[in-house]
A and B are shown apart, each in its own frame.
Chain A
Amino acid sequence: MTPGSPTESGRRRRSTARHAAVLLGGAVFVMWAVATLTFFAIRLIPGDPAQAILGGPGSQASQEALDLVREEYGLDQPLVVQYLAMLGRLLTGDLGSSYALRMPVAELLADQVGGTLLLAALSLALAWVLALGLSLWSTGRGRIAAAVGEGIELTAAALPHFWLAAVLIAVFATGLGWFPPVATGTPSGLVLPVVTLAVPLAGFLAQVMRESLLDALQQPFVVSAQARGESTAGIRLRHTIRHAALPGISLSGWALGWLLSGAVVVETIFAMPGLGRTLLQAVTLRDIPVVIGVVLFVALVYVVMTVITDLVARIADPRLRQEAAR
């Protein structure tokens, strides 16, 4: 098979188009399913959305006020009608208005998304650096290094965010005074939240990276590189790092979603504005449009990241490109 021959490129284009169609269809399905599940799930838990609008749970609002609100927000309609109305709005790209904050959900998300995405992106980057460093260091270096590496990974991956945050605050904020315990919008305020999110994630990533590194180190091409007189460091940096990175890349889509859920805890502890806190408040208040807005956004991030990691994996691994063309 000669790359560039007419039949070959045609087939590849068709396959790419089919691949894209499948991805897009899947994405639409996922978004619809998420919106539907969230809409009905939040109504299964007790709590009246009309009260969210009238000052939160335990409101003693008058019947007139309740009626007014139910009518204004369509809460007096049957559930199915409300659901279809929501789908209709979503199709036109309208996320609706927050019950509690009385502002468009899109505006609310736009205000909060930057902080959370920055937090998640920095944490993902740091987790990658930590995981790659740890797995490169601990493989092919004998049993002790392997055991130490594995121990660090398992411990890190098992650390709950709330606990890690508390310890980091105790040591680096209260104890040493290096970083503020409450985020301030300055770079130094981001350090502890980012480390809190990155360390457990690095544990997960390093575990899968080390597995594939070990695999790669036993491949014939490593032996031949050694035979050519390549140094250990050279082999790692030039040959095996791609193998280590592959599962890490495919996990990154999942990781970003995981980070967004971790943001609920971290944003609360470090008092940072963001989507996590928005979601927590919205669930507490039964602020349905906001809950659906945040959940849809996170789902969108998952979907987009899956596509991106899929593409990046193709770049990092030539075998995947050939598979697609076959």
Chain B
Amino acid sequence: MRAAPVTRRPLGRSALIAAGLVSALALAGCQADEPQASDEPVEGGTLVYASGDAEPTCLDPHVGGNYPQALIAGQFLESLVSRDGSGEIVPWLAESWEASDDGLAWEFTLREGVTFTDGTPLDAEAVKVNVEHLQDPATQSSTGYLAMGKVERVEVVDDLTARFVLTTPDSALLESLSQPWTAIQSPAGIARGMEENCEAPIGTGPFVVDEWVKQDRVTLVRNDDYSSPPADAEHDGPAYLEAIEWRFVPDAASRYAALQGGQVDVIDNPQPDTVAAAEESGAFTWLDAPRPGASNRIELNSGQAPFDDERVREAFIRAVQVDEGIDALFFGTAERSYSALSSVEALAYSEPSLFEPDLDRANRLLDEAGWTGRDADGTRLKDGQRLTLRFPVSTNQSIPAEQSLFEQVQATAKEAGFDVVIDLLDLSSWYGRLFVNEYEIVSAPYTKVGPDVLRILYHSDSITPAPSGYFANLAQLSDPEVDALLTEAAAEGDADARAGVYEQAQQRILGGYYLLPLYDQQNGFLLDPSVRGARAMPTVSTPSFHDAWLAD
């Protein structure tokens, strides 16, 4: 180990040589590989998918409920409704639905003739069992449990009609039901108990879980009796692919190498430089699929000093510069956002002028707010207090490019006299830091279908921690007017009126300088050119392979 400094230089050079060799070979490879144009889907074949997300600990997305579960569950489970590319809710397992005038009862008419892959028919009783499963504490559900928060019970009206009875009107009910975390499973499958159901949940989807070899792969085979694609699918009937081999490959470089070597057909979570290189070479298809819900943003903790003062919040937002960093570090793959919501949300409201950098204004605001002193480092002082901003960063959630961007935030904020202290932490430690309120700025993703995510993130109710210590309102935004608008929007049954209220709420939230939007939650897939017809679901951007086929 002691020889490391001596050996570093020659090693660096050989790495460059290796990298040069690799790119030369990659270029040579892609020219030879020009795909043949043919648009007739081909039956059969096994698609190999390499996932960089954590391996789920349970394949049933009712249990817990995180994104890795959603990714794979979408292959074998289906929801009552889906969302199309324009943001419209479309039929899936439910053919139609109707809300009562008071918004407290929703009747869903199920598609006829659908059976789970264990032969159990899909009926209203199955829907009831699923909602009860989500609400049962023993299921240990988190995401789906929250999504069903306003559902009091489900009544079986007849075989194919299920009535959701709500405690209060919920304009987000359809969006909640479109998510994989509330997907409908076979009641017989659920009855097997958690241990067995986690290994291989039973759904109505185009594929069936065949085998799960822990830390290696899940083998999914085609459901030959499949008959229930969502309304916006390309074709009816079973999938073209015979099977999917779903592999867990945590290292981003290995995933891309495996794609380049033809060992796998699809990878997720490619790093920005990889996406840029792959797009430039033209060797792979890039399926860009930003996640719905919130944008990626830096939240300013307004619950305590110094950000309890709006002038200091605005000063921070005017001082930092992120545009160049986003361009350089994300290689043009990420577009700057000026909204609290993801660009896939139709109701996202943007206000670029609020986020224009202006160092003079930042300095002026800080002077006004009383941060007039300076210490030897140039950090501003007020009553002997330094203008220190603690910034815990989760290495599980922020990719290296984002971590570098945060360093640029740190550097530009310093010019106005902020001392940003970045702390790189693993996920559990990072949450631990938030739970004890030891942060001034933080960036946390939140994926959910629809603008109701605003209520979760910015309603003052979300400052009160859940029993686990979790709270979603990390900006600790507590504004009765925002609360009123978000509550009103959540209950508003009329689409136009709802959109108007959400716009007002977003104006108010952005105008208070509680957050600095960066870009959409980056998500996407690199596909070998032989993979055709794959798409990302417009719900939570998970891949769908029902329409996919492998060209020769």
Contact = CB atoms under 8 A, between A and B. Distances in A.
B468 A175 contact: no
21 contacts: A56-B57, A58-B431, A59-B468, A60-B470, A61-B140, A61-B468, A68-B140, A102-B58, A102-B194, A102-B195, A112-B215, A154-B6, A171-B18, A174-B260, A182-B257, A182-B263, A184-B263, A268-B251, A269-B254, A278-B215, A281-B54
Contacts of A159: 7, 11
Interface string A130-169: 0000000000000000000000001101110001001101
Interface in B274-303: none
B354 interface: no
B258 A284 contact: no
Given A103-B195, A182-B257, 18 more contacts: A45-B428, A48-B468, A56-B66, A59-B468, A61-B140, A62-B145, A62-B467, A64-B137, A65-B139, A157-B3, A158-B4, A166-B253, A175-B22, A180-B263, A181-B263, A271-B216, A271-B249, A273-B216
Contacts of B466: 60-62
Contacts of A185: 216
B106 interface: no
A55 interface: yes
B264 A154 contact: no
Nearest to B57: A100
Contacts of B142: 54-55, 59-61
A182 B468 contact: no
B258 A180 contact: yes
A102 B64 CA distance: 13
Nearest to A184: B263
Contact of B253 (A111, A112, A169, A171): A169
B370 interface: no
Interface string B21-35: 110011000000000
Interface of A: 45-48, 50-51, 53-69, 100-103, 108, 111-112, 154-155, 157-159, 163, 166-167, 169-171, 173-177, 180-182, 184-185, 268-274, 277-278, 281, 284-286
A68 B250 contact: no
Contacts of B470: 58-60
A221 to B, nearest CB: 33
A154 B140 contact: no
Interface in B1-45: 1, 3-4, 6-7, 10-11, 14-15, 18-19, 21-22, 25-26
B111 to A, nearest CB: 30
Contacts of B58: 102
A155 B3 contact: yes
Given A182-B50, A273-B214, A68 B198 contact: no
A182 B247 contact: yes
B63 interface: yes
B345 interface: no
Contacts, number: 194
A57 B64 CA distance: 10
B468 A51 contact: yes
A56 B140 contact: no
B167 interface: no
B63 A158 contact: no
A176 B28 CA distance: 12
Contacts of A271: 50, 216, 247-251, 254, 258
Contacts of B467: 61-63, 66
A232 to B, nearest CB: 29
Nearest to A49: B428
B254 A158 contact: no
Contact of A182 (B1, B215, B254, B431): B254
Nearest to A268: B250
Interface in B364-397: 396
Contacts of A281: 54-55, 215
Contacts of B7: 154-155, 158-159
Contact of B11 (A54, A163, A277): A163
Contacts of A101: 57, 214
Contact of A57 (B138, B255, B428): B428
A170 B257 contact: yes
Contacts of A102: 57-58, 194-195, 198
Contacts of A59: 64, 142, 468, 470
B241 to A, nearest CB: 20
Contacts of B215: 112, 273-274, 277-278, 281
Contact of A170 (B18, B146, B432, B469): B18
A197 to B, nearest CB: 16
B426 interface: yes
B261 interface: yes
Nearest to A166: B253
B429 interface: yes
Given A108-B214, A174-B261, A62 B137 contact: yes
B182 interface: no
A270 B254 contact: yes
A271 B145 CA distance: 33
B137 A167 contact: no
- Interface-centre pick from B138, B146, B258 (highest chain A CB count, 10 A): B258
A46 B141 CA distance: 22
B213 interface: yes
A150 B10 CA distance: 16
Contact of A269 (B251, B263, B429): B251
B363 interface: no
Given A55-B142, A163-B11, A177 B3 contact: no
Contacts of B198: 102
A278 B260 CA distance: 27
Interface in B236-273: 247-251, 253-255, 257-258, 260-261, 263-264
B163 to A, nearest CB: 24
Contact of B427 (A57, A111, A182): A57
Nearest to A46: B432
A169 B25 CA distance: 13
B145 to A, nearest CB: 6
A60 B468 contact: yes
Nearest to A66: B467
Contacts of B257: 169-170, 173-174, 181-182
A48 B21 contact: no
A285 B57 contact: yes
A108 B215 CA distance: 11
A45 to B, nearest CB: 6
A163 B18 CA distance: 12
Given A102-B58, A167-B14, A180-B263, A54 B258 contact: no
A65 B140 contact: yes
A169 B26 CA distance: 13
B260 A158 contact: no
A208 to B, nearest CB: 14
A283 to B, nearest CB: 8
Contacts of B264: 182
